[in-house]
């Protein structure tokens, strides 16, 4: 094949165009660094909880309370102790003060017994968001269900709509309050207060959009479940080895 | 044209009222709807920034070992390697910001250790548990065990 001058000009011209586009793109992105290094579009937050590791110490509840100034007797996260007789008939569920100081030792020895930490499931299709009449509660672009304290009317629709009982009306502000997945922490590279203080690593903050996050291996290798899957809430808190008696 | 205005004259006044009403609606809407509403969805994007302003109480593991690297090394070699400093010592972001002004108190051993290690049938079988009254006979845990690396 003979290379003519026309060919050289044609190919060279195309290469020059591609290179100049690349250079311009480089200049645009290079000249204006984003003012904030946190990009909401590159995260999709959730949590994984290993039931077999939870010891019911309540350090998560304690830490959450300290971090977020949760009012006394209200809980953004709590731990339940299940005591299940054979055949799932009437499991006994206890959570003294949300387990903020742990549990008194159980007297039962013959029952199946385990702890279940609970928190907002950060649903992708959240019923609480759907019922808000003023757009005060919403799913953020990085997948966290949040409440706009300046916009909330305190009508409590969302408190009733949440199938997991994760919302409450703050007694002082009279607006709805809930787990923010420590949004102020995770957006600056820290983990949540509950995960930071879990001594056994039973709960772990995860980012589904990060390909290197251990969540992908966790979901592939374990038997996992979300709470109330029949409600199709798109819950993003995954429990490993969750017992069928847990509601 | 004359005929058109004469015939449709009765429509002009309602049209003016309608347009004025529409204009008023637009003005009120612009004044009431917050800036950027609907940028990401049916909510105020300013709420995201407001929530991020919340102060941090727990500085995090990384901040502690920057100064307390000796304790960090001792703990990392033992069974408490994955227990964060602030789990026992409390929220200390203020101490991390200004080490001199906010001296943390030592935790109370009597309530600290049993919180995790008191025997309970609901706890995983592999987790070290004791019935504290039988185990130590009232002695403080740290008379035998070192909390940072709990060997005897």
Q: What is the pLDDT of residues B80-92, one digit of tens each?
A: 999 999 999 999 9
Closest chain B residue to A130 measured between Cα atoms? B42
- B116 CB neighbours in chain A (<8 A) are 55, 57, 59, 102, 199
> What one-character DSSP code corresponds to residue A3?
P
C-alpha dihedral, B18 to B19 to B23 to B26, nearest 10°: 70
**What is the pLDDT at residue B110?**
83
Across the range B9-30, mean pLDDT stands at 94
Helix (H, G, I), strand (E, B) or coil at A244: coil
Q: Which residue has the higher pLDDT, B142 or A28?
A: B142
Dump pLDDT digits (tens) for B84-129.
999 999 999 999 999 888 888 889 888 899 999 999 999 999 999 9
| Residues A109 and A210: beta-carbon distance below 8 Å | no
Q: Across the interface, do B44 and A108 touch by the CB < 8 Å criterion?
A: no
Helix (H, G, I), strand (E, B) or coil at A152: coil
**What is the pLDDT at residue A180?**
96
| Residues A119 and A76: beta-carbon distance below 8 Å | yes
Q: Across the interface, do B115 and A102 touch by the CB < 8 Å criterion?
A: yes
Q: How far is A229 from chain B (nearest CA, A)?
A: 25
Domain borders along chain B are 2-52, 61-143
Fold of A40-125+161-240: Alpha-Beta Plaits (3.30.70)
**What is the pLDDT at residue B57?**
95
| Residues A238 and A48: beta-carbon distance below 8 Å | yes
**What is the pLDDT at residue A220?**
96
**What is the pLDDT at residue B104?**
87
Q: How far is CA A235 from CA A48, A208, A227, B10, B120, in A?
A: 11, 13, 7, 59, 30
Q: How far is CA B99 from CA A104, B66, B71, B90, in A?
A: 36, 12, 16, 14
Low-confidence ranges of chain A (pLDDT < 70): 1-2, 16-35
**What is the pLDDT at residue A34?**
45
Task: Tell me, yes or no, if B121 comes closer than 8 A to chain A by beta carbon.
Answer: yes
Across the range B10-16, mean pLDDT stands at 90
**What is the pLDDT at residue A20?**
56
Mutate to test the interface with B, among A67, A130, A202, A240 (most CBs of B within 10 A): A67
pLDDT band at B1 (very low <50, low <70, confident <90, very high): confident
If you search the block for the tokens 């509950």, which residue do you land on?
A194
Residue B145 backbone phi and psi in degrees, to 5: -100, 140
Closest chain A residue to B42 measured between Cα atoms? A135
Measure the N-to-C terminal CA separation of chain A; round to a whole number of Å: 74
Q: Which among B47, B58, B83 has CB closest to A193? A: B58
Pairing of strands A176-177, A145-147: unpaired
**What is the pLDDT at residue B2?**
81
Q: Across the interface, do B50 and A114 touch by the CB < 8 Å criterion?
A: no
């Amino acid at each position: 094949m003979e290379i003519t001058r026309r060919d050289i000009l044609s190919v060279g011209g195309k290469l020059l165009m591609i290179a100049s586009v690349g250079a311009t793109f480089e200049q645009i992105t290079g000249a204006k660094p984003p003012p904030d290094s946190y990009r909401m579009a590159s995260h999709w937050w959730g949590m994984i909880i290993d039931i077999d590791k939870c010891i019911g110490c309540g350090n998560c509840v304690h830490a959450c309370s300290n971090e977020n100034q949760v009012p006394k007797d209200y809980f953004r996260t709590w731990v339940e102790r299940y005591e299940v007789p054979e055949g799932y008939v009437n499991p006994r569920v206890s959570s003294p003060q949300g387990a903020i100081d742990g549990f008194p030792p159980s007297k039962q020895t013959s029952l199946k017994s385990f702890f279940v930490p609970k928190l907002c499931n950060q649903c992708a299709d959240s019923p609480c968001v759907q019922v808000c009449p003023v757009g005060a509660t919403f799913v953020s672009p990085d997948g966290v269900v949040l409440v706009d304290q300046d916009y909330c009317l305190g009508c409590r629709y969302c408190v009733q709509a949440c199938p997991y009982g994760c919302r409450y009306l703050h007694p002082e502000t009279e607006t709805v309050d809930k787990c923010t997945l420590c949004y102020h922490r995770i957006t600056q590279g820290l983990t949540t207060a509950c995960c930071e203080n879990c001594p056994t690593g039973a709960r772990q903050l995860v980012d589904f959009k990060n390909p290197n996050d251990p969540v992908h291996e966790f979901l592939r290798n374990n038997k996992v479940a979300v709470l109330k899957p029949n409600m199709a809430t798109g819950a993003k808190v995954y429990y490993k080895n969750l017992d069928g008696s847990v509601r | 044209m004359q005929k058109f205005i004469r015939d449709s004259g009765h429509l002009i006044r309602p049209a003016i009222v309608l347009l004025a009403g529409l204009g008023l609606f637009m003005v009120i809407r612009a004044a009431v709807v917050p800036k950027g509403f609907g940028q990401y969805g049916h909510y105020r994007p300013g709420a995201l920034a407001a929530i991020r302003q919340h102060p941090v109480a727990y500085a995090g593991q990384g901040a502690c070992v920057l100064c307390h690297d000796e304790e960090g090394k001792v703990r990392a070699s033992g069974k408490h390697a994955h227990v964060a400093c602030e789990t026992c010592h409390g929220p200390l972001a203020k101490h991390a910001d200004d080490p001199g002004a906010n001296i943390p108190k030592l935790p109370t051993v009597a309530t600290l250790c049993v919180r995790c290690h008191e025997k309970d049938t609901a706890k995983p079988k592999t987790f070290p548990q004791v019935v504290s009254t039988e185990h130590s006979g009232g002695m403080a845990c740290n008379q035998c065990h070192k909390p940072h690396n709990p060997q005897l």
